[in-house]
Amino acid sequence: MKIIKERADVIPALTEVFRTYGYEGASLALIGRHTGLGKGSLYHFFPGGKEEMAVAVLDGIDGWFHAHVFEPLRSDADPVHAIEAMFAATDHYFRSGERVCIVGVFALGDVRDRFAKRINAYFTVWRDALADALRGLGKDDAVARDAAENIVAGIQGALVAARALDDPALFGRRLAAMKVAVLPARTSVPEGF
């Protein structure tokens, strides 16, 4: 018995191909190999071809970040918890620096213009949601905006540097440094006191 796939089942594999090879590098042959699907199936699910596949991938990523990062940042009653959760989710999503950000990769290439709206939205929403949470911490508007921009950019830079230096642990170090810079230090009370 054959399990019939649907469009959504293909997106994870699609995502990994675009992440690994970029937009131009992700050939249909490669996509076919990684999804186990022929061209017929691929064009059945994505009549718009490669561009529609990339859109589905970007939307999938955006959906994940909305659910696990952006919404909690905006609506969590405890901003400290929301920001800690953001760093944890980010570390998890990027596999502690082993994975690269497709949105960042697309932003650097000439395909940026083709997907500009989605790329811009991903970073804008992230930055603004984080600034919200930072204001919830009592920071004033300008400081919160600046810190949010710094962190969102810093995450991308940490991914680039981790790949460039072939040192995934660099990613965790930068995340930790940004976290302590922005969150009130934990008051650790030694036992017995």
Q: Which residues of 114-150 are buried (b: 16+ CB within 10 A; e: fewer)?
A: ebeebbeebbebbbbbbbbbbbbbebeeeebbebbee
Under the binding rule (CB under 7 A), the answer on residue 5 touching DNA is yes
- Minimum CB separation from its own copies for residue 44, in Å? 27
- What does each C-alpha distance from 24 to 102, 118, 162 come to in angstroms? 13, 18, 23
Q: Which does 5 bind (CB under 5 to 8 A by kind): DNA, its own copies, none?
A: DNA
DSSP state letter for 77: S
- Tokens coding 80: 């400290």
Q: Contact with DNA (CB under 7 A): which of 39, 81, 92, 95?
A: 39
Q: Contact with DNA (CB under 7 A): which of 50, 112, 127, 145?
A: 50
Contacts with its own copies by CB under 8 A lie at 20-22, 24-25, 100, 103-105, 107-110, 112, 116, 119-120, 122-124, 127, 146, 149-150, 152-161, 163-166, 170, 173-174, 177
